[in-house]
A = this chain, B = another copy of it.
C-alpha cells in the first residue's frame, strides 16, 4: 500500500529523543517521584503575579497569541537596554535553537560544541544534517580556546557555549566570554546559551553590543522565572539575524497564556531576586548533604549542584539508578570524565529532606553494586 516517502535526511535520523521526561519515567516505574530534582526546573515556581496573569489570560485563550509577541518583546528590549529588533521571542530556547540551526546549518555544515554539552542543540544540528565536532571539557569547564580553535579548523557555522554551564554548573567570567566573542571566526556565530544566567552571581554576563553579528544570546523564562512549562525563551542578536527567524518560525506558535505570564514575570523582578536567594541557600544545603555523604559538590552558578561521586561513570550511573529507584528524579552528565558526577536540581525543604534520606541508601546500594 502506498505511504510516505521520507527525505533521505530524515530516513537516516535516529528515533531517539534528547531526554526522557520525568512523567515518562514515572509511568515506567509505576509510581510518582517523591522529589523532582532532575530537569533544573524551579521548584519555587513562578511569580504569583505571573500565575494571576496566566489565569486571567486563560479566559481570552480563544484568541491566537500576538504573532509578534510585541508587548513582551518591547519589555525585554527595555529590560536589557537593546532595541526591539534585537529581540526574538520563541517557544523556549529549544524552539529558538531549532530555528537558528535551520537558518544556518545545511547538510554537511560543521558545528562545534563541547562533548557532553546540551543534547537538544545537538539534536537540532543532526536533525538538519549538520556535522557535530566536539572538544572536551577542561577541568569541568567548557573550553573557549578549544571551541574557537575547532570552529576555525572545521569552518563551523555555529559554536555553542553555555554560560553558566549545564550540566557542570561551572562558569566563565564575563571577560572570558567577551574575549571569546572577539575571536569568533569569520562566517561563524557564537551561540551563547545563558539559560541559567538569572541565577548566577554578578560578573558572569558579558557586555555584548546587541548589534554584534558574531553572537546570539539565548535567555529563558524556564529557569529563574520558574515557567519551564510555559515555553518562553528569547534571543538577543543583530537585527539581521533576528529578522531571519521570520523566514522560518511558526509565526502563531506562541501560547497566549505564556506570553502574558512571561510579561508579568519580567515585571516582578522582586520575585526573581527572592528565587535567587532561595536557590543559593538550597545549593549550599545540597552541597552539605553531598559532603555529609563523603561526596564532593562542584561550585555552581545555576539552580543545580553537580556532585562528584568520586569514582567512574559506572558508579555514578549506579548511584543515579538507586536514587531514581527510591523516588528521586535526578540526571547526570553523559560523557566521561564528567559522568563521574550526578546533577541535582535545587529543591524546597521537603525535597532536600528526601534527598538527605535517600542519598546514603543509594550510595550504599551502589557500592554493594
Chain A interface (Cβ < 8 Å from any Cβ of B): 1-10, 13-15, 17-24, 27, 36, 39, 41-46, 50-51, 54-55, 57-68, 70, 91-92, 94-95, 98, 102-106, 109, 120, 127, 157, 184-189, 212-214, 222, 226-231, 238, 240-241, 243-244, 246-248, 250-258, 261
Contacts and interface: CB of A to CB of B under 8 A. Distances in A.
Interface centre among A50, A62, A103, A254 (most CB of B within 10 A): A62
A111 to B, nearest CB: 12
Given A7-B103, A104-B4, A261-B58, A18 B227 contact: no
Given A2-B188, A68-B23, A70-B23, A61 B251 contact: no
A214 B3 CA distance: 5
Nearest to A243: B15
A257 B54 contact: yes
Given A23-B67, A94-B253, A10 B214 contact: no
A231 B255 contact: yes
A104 B247 contact: no
Given A6-B103, A43-B62, 10 more contacts: A5-B157, A7-B102, A7-B103, A9-B106, A55-B58, A61-B227, A62-B228, A65-B231, A94-B250, A94-B252
A304 to B, nearest CB: 14
Contacts of A214: 1-3
A331 to B, nearest CB: 13
Nearest to A103: B10
Contact of A5 (B21, B39, B187): B187
Given A231-B255, A251-B18, A251-B19, A104 B61 contact: no
B41 A64 contact: yes
Nearest to A225: B62
20 contacts: A2-B185, A2-B188, A4-B157, A6-B244, A10-B103, A10-B104, A10-B244, A13-B248, A19-B67, A21-B66, A46-B61, A54-B58, A55-B55, A61-B226, A61-B227, A64-B228, A120-B252, A127-B247, A230-B255, A231-B255
A214 B5 CA distance: 11
Contacts of A63: 22, 36, 39, 41, 228-229
Nearest to A24: B68
Contacts of A94: 250, 252-253
